[in-house]
């Protein structure tokens, strides 16, 4: 058994980690990351790791940005905190709302600030219900989501999400939230073509609306592609059919862009990538590149007008809604993305190269499917690729591969036996090569 450092021992003794089985920490301890620069991390033992996950899908501009440090420091000196409640606000929050409105789809011109993606989705739940109340349709309350979706970890966020493991802890989902099947062709498509399966998965929404009664359905919430569920990218037929159904029954679309927003698909928002016209967009993560916590909801004009003009006081908000220091970080982060043309670079250069290099991994005997868009991808590890046959989940092949990636100096995440990659948008082509080479070594060792 490895000797744990004093820091690791203190960690195990005092720190209950999110999404971690504490018992697994006993032998090896936690991996303590001490510093970072560009796309690289260094752990406390001095090991250099290429961060193939941009932290938790969030460090879009990469680590070590002095200009964000400077912006935050300047803001802390000038005004470290003030609220945006009760007829007050401050310049960074105003400027950020305006900046985001300019980047968002044309029909979305207002922002409600939160502290995280989970809080954004809690906000969505309250906002859509309030909207329908004010529109004189108070029975429109139910929100339809999907199995295996991830919308955060607060009570509403976890309920909106479709993770059965989360629902089991804490008696979730709360009432008024129902789930339909996810559009996961590789895992659940059977003999159907991706196109036929995509249509079938979308039509589950129509069936659910008809079952509940359209007069009772407020909104459909979805990630453009499911991130934490395993980078599940809907077949091409899915979103057009969903759009048709939402329009037919006047059901709002909440698009959760906490991962996909701020450039990951090669568009500022994946709404553009998938040609969607959402009513609400959840944002967080890449909004500040994770330098400071912050989230928000971008609001379509038709909702914003009702909330502004008819709601009276919207009795919702967080102490840190629009926090000036977070807003300063977000503004500088966005300035960097614009100045370095990162969105365009992902679209025209990095993502095409990344996706083509990834196809090399599809030839590996352990790999059933490689799928991705922009700078995000999944690699499905299977026992028999010709039969799409999976390993027994008890074996933990994904965890094994993830640990072997670390041995080769690469951070990849495993969701079951699906390996996930979502590097900083600043990754260079040479670093993409490095990532692929390390991934191949880890796959070879796993095999
Ligand atoms: N929505 C999506 C799509 C996410 O991926 C996440 C986090 O991974 C969240 C919401 C929750 O965000 P947070 O952890 O900031 O509360």
Which of 359, 361, 333, 357 minimizes the C-alpha distance to 425?
333
- DSSP H helix total and E strand total for the chain: 18, 15
Say which residues have a Cβ less than 8 Å from residue 173's Cβ, sequence separation at least 6. 158, 159, 160, 167, 179
Distance (Å, rounded) from C-alpha 280 to C-alpha 99? 17
pLDDT score for 337: 98
Residue 90 is predicted with a pLDDT of 97
Which residues does the chain have with pLDDT short of 50?
none
What is the C-alpha to C-alpha distance for residues 419 and 397, in angstroms, rounded to an integer? 10
Q: What is the pLDDT of residues 182-229, one digit of tens each?
A: 999 999 999 999 999 999 999 999 999 999 999 999 999 999 999 999
Minimum-distance ligand 1 atom for the alpha carbon of 149: 3
Where do the H-state alpha helices sit in 79-189? 91-103, 117-134, 155-160, 164-168, 185-188
Question: Looking at ligand 1, which atom is closest to the CA of residue 152?
Answer: 11
Q: 161 C-alpha vs ligand 1 centroid, how far in Å? A: 10
Q: Determine the Cα–Cα distance for residues 421 and 57; give it in Å rounded to an integer.
A: 9
Which segments of the chain belong to CATH 3.90.1150.10?
Answer: 31-61+341-446
**Which residue has a Cα nearest atom 1 of ligand 1?**
151
DSSP state of 184: -
Instruction: Select from 122, 160, 232, 259 the residue to mutate for testing ligand 1; criterion: most ligand atoms less than 8 Å from CB.
Output: 259
Helix axes 66-78, 324-339, angle to 10 degrees: 150
Separation of 290 CA from ligand 1 center, angstroms?
A: 12
Answer whether 254's CB lies under 8 Å from 124's CB.
yes
Residue of 155, 130, 116, 132 lying closest to 282 (CA atoms): 116
Q: How far is the CA of 424 from the centre of ligand 1 (A)?
A: 17
Q: Measure CA 75 to chain center.
A: 28
pLDDT digits (tens, 9 = 90+) for 326-376: 999 999 999 999 999 999 999 999 999 999 999 999 999 999 999 999 999
CA of 30 relative to ligand 1 center, distance in Å: 22
Among residues 100, 152, 122, the alpha carbon closest in space to that of 269 is found at 100
Question: Quick one: what percent of the chain has pLDDT higher than 70?
Answer: 100
How distant, in Å, are the alpha carbons of 33, 158, 176 from that of 189?
A: 39, 26, 28
Fold of 68-339: 3.40.640
pTM over 0.80: yes
Contacts of 432 (CB under 8 A, 6+ apart): 350, 353, 354, 357, 423
What single DSSP character describes residue 387?
T
Contact residues of ligand 1, CB 6 A cut-off: 56, 116-118, 121, 150-152, 223, 227-228, 256, 258-259, 284, 295
The pick from 53, 58, 258 for probing ligand 1's pocket by mutation, whose C-beta has the most ligand atoms within 8 angstroms, reads 258
Please give the pLDDT value at position 83.
95
* Interior angle at CA 250, CA 244 and CA 254, nearest 5: 80
Q: For ligand 1, what atom is nearest to the CA of residue 117?
A: 12
Decide if 255 contacts 264 (C-beta within 8 A): no
The CATH 3.40.640.10 domain(s) of the chain lie at: 68-339
pLDDT at 2: 62
Q: How far is the CA of 4 from the centre of ligand 1 (A)?
A: 32
Task: For the domain made up of 31-61+341-446, give the CATH fold.
Answer: 3.90.1150
Q: Ligand 1: distance of its center to the CA of 5 in Å?
A: 32
Q: What residue's CA is closest to ligand 1, atom 7? A: 152
Q: What is the pLDDT of residue 148?
A: 98
Ligand 1 center–CA 114 separation, angstroms: 12
| Cα 1 to averaged position of ligand 1 atoms, centre (Å) | 35
């Amino acid at each position: 058994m490895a000797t744990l450092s004093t820091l690791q021992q203190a960690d195990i003794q005092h720190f209950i980690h999110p999404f971690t089985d504490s018992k697994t920490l006993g032998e090896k301890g936690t991996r303590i990351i001490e510093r970072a620069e560009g796309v690289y991390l260094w752990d406390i033992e001095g090991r250099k790791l290429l961060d193939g996950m941009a932290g938790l899908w969030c460090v879009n501009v990469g680590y070590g940005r002095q200009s964000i440090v400077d912006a935050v420091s300047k803001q802390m000196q000038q005004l470290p905190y003030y609220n945006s409640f009760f007829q007050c606000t401050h310049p960074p929050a105003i400027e950020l709302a305006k900046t985001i409105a300019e980047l968002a789809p044309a029909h979305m011109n207002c922002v409600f600030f939160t502290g995280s993606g989970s809080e954004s989705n809690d906000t969505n739940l309250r906002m859509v219900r309030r909207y329908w109340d004010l529109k004189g349709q108070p029975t429109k309350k139910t929100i339809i989501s999907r199995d295996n979706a991830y919308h955060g970890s607060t009570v509403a966020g976890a309920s909106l999400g479709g993770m059965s493991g989360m629902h089991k802890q804490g008696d979730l989902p709360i009432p008024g939230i129902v789930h339909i099947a996810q559009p996961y062709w590789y895992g659940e498509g059977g003999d159907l073509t991706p196109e036929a399966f995509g249509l079938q998965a979308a039509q589950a929404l129509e069936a659910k609306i008809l079952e509940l009664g359209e007069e009772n359905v407020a909104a459909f919430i979805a990630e453009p592609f499911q991130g934490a569920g395993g980078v599940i990218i809907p077949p091409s037929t899915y979103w057009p059919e969903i759009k048709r159904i939402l329009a037919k029954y006047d059901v709002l679309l909440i698009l959760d862009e906490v991962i996909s927003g701020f450039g990951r698909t090669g568009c500022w928002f994946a709404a553009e990538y998938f040609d969607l016209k959402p009513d609400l967009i959840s944002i967080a993560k890449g909004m500040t590149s994770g330098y400071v916590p912050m989230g928000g909801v971008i609001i379509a004009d038709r909702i914003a007008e009702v909330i502004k003009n008819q709601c009276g006081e919207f009795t919702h908000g967080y102490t840190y809604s629009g926090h000036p220091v977070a807003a300063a970080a977000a503004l500088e982060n966005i300035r960097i993305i614009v100045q370095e043309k990162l969105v365009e670079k992902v679209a025209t250069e990095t993502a095409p190269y990344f996706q083509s290099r990834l196809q090399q991994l599809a030839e590996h005997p352990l790999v059933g499917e490689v799928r991705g868009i922009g700078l995000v991808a999944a690699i499905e590890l299977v026992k028999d690729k010709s039969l799409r046959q999976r390993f027994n989940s008890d074996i933990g092949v994904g965890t094994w591969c993830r640990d072997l990636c670390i041995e080769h100096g690469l951070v990849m995440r495993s969701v079951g036996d699906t390996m996930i990659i979502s590097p900083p948008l600043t990754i260079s082509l040479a670093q993409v090569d490095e990532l692929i080479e390390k991934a191949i070594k880890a796959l070879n060792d796993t095999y």
